[in-house]
Amino acid sequence: MKTISRRRFLSSAALTLAGTRLRASAGADSSTVQATLTIPPEAEGARMPADFIGLSYEVRQMTDPHFFSAANTGLIAQLKALGAHGVLRLGGNTSEFGYWKPAPDSPEPAHPATREVVGEPKAEYYAVTAEAVRNLADFLKETGWTCIYGIGMGTNTPERAAAEGAFVAKTLGARLQYFQIGNEADLFSKHLRDPKTWNAQRYLAEWLTLARAVEASVPEARFGMPDVASQIDWLTEIAEVWPSVANPPHVTTLTHHHYFGGPATNPEVNIPNLLGSGEMGKVQNAADTANGAAAKMGVRVRMTEGNTCYRGGKPGVSDVFAAALWAADYALHLASNNYTGINLHGGSGTSVANSVGGFLPGDVMLKDQGATPEEIASLPHPFYTPIAQFGAEYTMEPVAYGLKFAGALSGGTLVAANLTARLQSAGVNASAYAAKHPGGRVTAIVLNKDADKDLDLTLDFGGGRTGRAETEELRAPALDSREAHISPSAGLRVGRGTCTVRVPRASGLRLTIS
């Protein structure tokens, strides 16, 4: 992991306050909280799919046909390190301005007029080419991952959607999970549709027109919808009218997005709030609504785009170790709510900047704080990206380490008990999850998000198990460190089904027994 000094520009505004507080608490004597977690003998919770973890990229990333290709061995290596099985989602704001170009000499189609709004992508149209899709197929084969493929809705036509869908389905084959038509359609009223008339019902009518066009060329096509930015109630509205849709397309997944907050200039986007209990409370409310709608349609839910801070992330929050703890907790919280997976957004700084109006607010913030161009360039762009690119080198950022750490429970069945509530009642800001795997292996993950308190934890697995437990730590020098590490620890002795371990403040522990 790249280690980058940030001292010079942690010297003003909100970053100074957060950084000073977190560093000071790390150097002081911390209190210790004691707690006991009993792992139930039966795993009656949700099954966490083997390919639960995933990444999200802008479709515009495909304008460089070599990015998602077998030749990009650096990026392939990072995806394989993140997980042997995963899901690559292609979508984002820029997907609404792409057009299908099946051949090099295919003319650019006419485009509708749109409004230009600060913070929304500008109407800069680009081609999605057959070469890029063929290279994507090779890329997926090399990584072992599958794909959720986004087809634009905002400026697309049924004919182009059908042609693109047919080529993508034939080219990707079994690597294609499903099509996602439209991205954050609940925000179309800002620049792509009439705000006086745009609503969930209008969206559904347009979506059905495009989906049926794709279905006509790909009879076996599967779909996710509606991929909303924040209006989770759209899922409920769609589920209520879905039984009245004649011969509905094959929808497998209800999808939505989630960002903790934003943009970077918002002082409320800070480490204490990111790791506070209020964040997971909001996540739970959205999950309850989404799962209620999914149950009515007989499908499941996936979080297809999200991260710590929208519009490219916030330096000092999105690119530091606190984001790793958040990502692990958020992923496992979704898994415990029966989600099929999570896709954290990232990619190149250019593609994400294009998706939010041409610039990253985090860059503006750093310039205002006096950071030099060299210091700004030394940070990942966008700041929240799970995998950053520095020249020809690709590196996993802290948020990706959190995703990888949580991925150890993939393929298992989660215990239904609310282990997190037990820890919080003991007075520590910590979360815990456990899963049982085929063959009897049990894995528990404890995330101590507390900046002040260590946790002395007794785990009771029952059953009189004895032997050694394998352990790994998710750690960094401090919550605002520009690094993260997953490393084996000494292991533990399990006697009569119990073991005791210390989980230091601002760290994670993964424990596995057979």
Helices marked H in 64-199: 73-82, 130-143, 158-172
pLDDT at 11 over 70: no
Read off the pLDDT of residues 256-300 as tens digits, 9 standing for 90 and up: 999 999 999 999 999 999 999 899 999 999 999 999 999 999 999
> What domains, with CATH codes, occur in the chain?
13-45+412-513 (2.60.40.1180), 53-409 (3.20.20.80)
Question: What's the token pair of residue 245?
Answer: 């849709």
The amino acid at residue 410 is S
- Residue 74: pLDDT band with limits 50, 70, 90: very high
pLDDT at 49 over 60: yes
pLDDT at 78 over 90: yes
Read off the pLDDT of residues 470-507 as tens digits, 9 standing for 90 and up: 999 999 999 999 999 999 987 788 887 888 999 999 99
Q: What is the DSSP secondary-structure string of 446-486?
A: EEE--SSEEEEEEEE--TT--EEEEEEEEE-SSTT-S--EE
Q: Structure pTM?
A: 0.93
Average pLDDT over residues 183-205: 96
| Higher per-residue confidence, 164 vs 123 | 164
Task: Give the pLDDT of residue 27.
Answer: 42
Angle, CA of 124, 128 and 134, to the nearest 5°: 160
Read off the pLDDT of residues 311-353 as tens digits, 9 standing for 90 and up: 999 999 999 999 999 999 999 999 999 999 999 999 999 999 9
Distance CA 153, CA 174 (A): 24
The CB density around residue 393, as the number of other CB atoms within 10 Å, is 10
Cis peptide before 382 (omega within 30 of 0): yes
Average pLDDT over residues 356-378: 94
- Residue 8: pLDDT band with limits 50, 70, 90: very low
Q: Torsions phi, psi of 185, nearest 5?
A: -65, -20
Read off the pLDDT of residues 390-436 as tens digits, 9 standing for 90 and up: 999 999 999 999 999 999 999 999 999 899 999 999 999 999 999 99
Task: Give the pLDDT of residue 30.
Answer: 63
Task: Give the pLDDT of residue 113.
Answer: 86
- Residue 122: pLDDT band with limits 50, 70, 90: confident
The CB density around residue 152, as the number of other CB atoms within 10 Å, is 24
